[in-house]
Amino acid sequence: MVRENEIRPSEVAVEPPPATDAGLVFIGRIYSPWTSRLKAPRQGRQDGPLCRIEIFDPWVPALDGIGRFERLEVLYWLHLSRRDLVRQSPANDGSARGTFALRSPVRPNPIGTSIVSLVEVNGPVLLVRGLDCLDGTPLLDLKPDRTLFTPIAPPQPGDFETGD
Amino acid sequence: MVRENEIRPSEVAVEPPPATDAGLVFIGRIYSPWTSRLKAPRQGRQDGPLCRIEIFDPWVPALDGIGRFERLEVLYWLHLSRRDLVRQSPANDGSARGTFALRSPVRPNPIGTSIVSLVEVNGPVLLVRGLDCLDGTPLLDLKPDRTLFTPIAPPQPGDFETGD
């Protein structure tokens, strides 16, 4: 979002509760070509530039087997985002929409999610395409893309429940 | 994952750093039919049972406009999960795989993500299908499904960058 942290006309901020319900650990860092919010893409693209993800200790062994997935879901912490807007005006045109009807980085819990193409795994470093985040963004999680993953554990009753 | 918090043969735990790099606020709660880890599905299904999502104050105005999206991405906090396993054995068969090559709830940052079908919005309450989480799970975020969302803000240079 191209703003230093000002509020635009028609936007609504709230006094948020303290963000102490649960705590996060940064498990790595994302290196992208974008060092300015004025340049970063609004959305990643699968043919976008290579980005590097570096995993920190002690989490490197958790990468074992990740190379078998062509696409990954990446969760990251949008560390520059304000967290108190409930209505936002992305076009800055006097109209606003609720935060949960937008994929803006400004959210009560500023967690970004992207689906990336996995190009290479080399020790603690992954090369991927499809990210949209700023250089230096803290990493929260990596998962296989949901559409490529079949649970290894045996099914449970809930797997067969349908209807109301 | 069907375990009280025991470690299985071939699994590897680490001493994790304190989870204090960033803080989360629970913005709502999820009500599902599953009160036991022995019953919950391994993965949600779009024809699964209705689940209720209740949004807490002061975030309710952030729902404005969400009804236009047929599917939402839901982020939630897997509050019962241990966070220290780097290798896991979902089948409990002596084989293990890295946590980032699994969609297990056991992760350094236990954040679950699902794509749900939005059935109804009624004030602070949403009815959805497609969740897999336990009754009472804390909610972290709601976003339009990425495949349904077009940014409202004007494009930036990064939106046109491809290649290396």
The residues, any chain, with a CB within 8 Å of residue B122's CB and separated by 6 or more, are: none
* Residue in the structure block whose two tokens are 């880890």: B37
Q: Which of B109, B113, B117 to mutate to test the interface with A (most CBs of A within 10 A)?
A: B109
The pLDDT tens digits of the residues spanning B10-43 come to 999 999 999 999 999 999 999 999 998 888 898 8
The pLDDT tens digits of the residues spanning A52-80 come to 999 999 999 999 999 999 999 999 999 99
- Picking from A24, A61, A115, the nearest residue to B22 by CB comes out as A24
Residues A83-116 as b/e (b if ≥16 CB within 10 A, e otherwise) read bbbbbbbbebeeebbbbbbbbbbbbbbbbbbbbb
State mean pLDDT over B77-104. 96
Judge whether B7 is closer than 8 Å to chain A, CB to CB.
Answer: no
φ/ψ region of B136 (left if φ > 0, alpha if ψ in -120 to 50, else beta) reads: left
What is the spatial distance between Cα A16 and Cα A72, in angstroms, rounded to a whole number? 32
Judge whether B94 is closer than 8 Å to chain A, CB to CB.
Answer: no
Contact A12 B109 (CB under 8 A): no
Q: Which of A1, A74, A109, A150 to mutate to test the interface with B (most CBs of B within 10 A)?
A: A109
A146 SS3 class: helix
- Picking from A26, A48, A92, the nearest residue to B161 by CB comes out as A48
Q: Which residues of B touch A64 (CB under 8 A)?
A: 87, 97-98, 101
Residue B2: pLDDT band (50, 70, 90) is low
Of residues B1 and B60, which shows the higher confidence score? Answer: B60
What is the spatial distance between Cα B114 and Cα A74, in angstroms, rounded to a whole number? 13
The pLDDT > 70 percentage for chain B reads: 98
ipTM: 0.95
Q: What is the 3-state secondary structure (H, E, C) of chain B?
A: CCCCCCCCCCCEECCCCCCCCEEECCCEEEECCCCCCCCCCCCCCCCCCCEEEEECCCCHHHHCCHHHCCEEEEEEECCCCCCCEEEECCCCCCCCEEHHHCCCCCCCCCEEEEEEEEEEEECCEEEEECCCCCCCEEEEEEEECHHHCCCCCCCCHHHHCCCC
Residue pair B19/B91 in contact (Cβ under 8 Å)? The answer is no
What's chain B's average pLDDT? 94
The pLDDT tens digits of the residues spanning B96-122 come to 999 999 999 999 999 999 999 999 999
* Residue in the structure block whose two tokens are 């009472």: B136
Q: Is the pLDDT of residue B164 over 80?
A: no
CATH superfamily of A23-147: YaeB-like (2.40.30.70)
Q: What is the pLDDT of residue A163?
A: 83
Q: What is the pLDDT of residue A1?
A: 46
What would the two tokens of residue B155 be? 């494009």
What is the spatial distance between Cα B59 and Cα B61, in angstroms, rounded to a whole number? 6
Judge whether B153 is closer than 8 Å to chain A, CB to CB.
Answer: yes
Q: Give me the total of CB pairs closer than 8 Å, taking one residue from chain A and one from chain B.
A: 289
State mean pLDDT over B65-90. 97
Domain ranges for chain B: 23-147
Q: What is the 3-state secondary structure (H, E, C) of A14-54?
A: CCCCCCCCEEECCCEEEECCCCCCCCCCCCCCCCCCCEEEE
What would the two tokens of residue A150 be? 């079949």
Judge whether A76 is closer than 8 Å to chain B, CB to CB.
Answer: no
Q: What is the pLDDT of residue B1?
A: 46
Q: What is the pLDDT of residue B53?
A: 98
Residues of chain A falling short of pLDDT 50: 1
Q: What is the pLDDT of residue A2?
A: 59
Contact A163 B40 (CB under 8 A): no
Dihedral of CA atoms A142, A148, A154, A157 in degrees, nearest 10, equals 100
- Picking from B77, B99, B132, the nearest residue to A62 by CB comes out as B99
Distance of residue B129 Cα from the nearest chain A Cα, in angstroms? 9
Judge whether A138 is closer than 8 Å to chain B, CB to CB.
Answer: yes
Q: Which residues of B touch A25 (CB under 8 A)?
A: 16-21, 83, 108-109
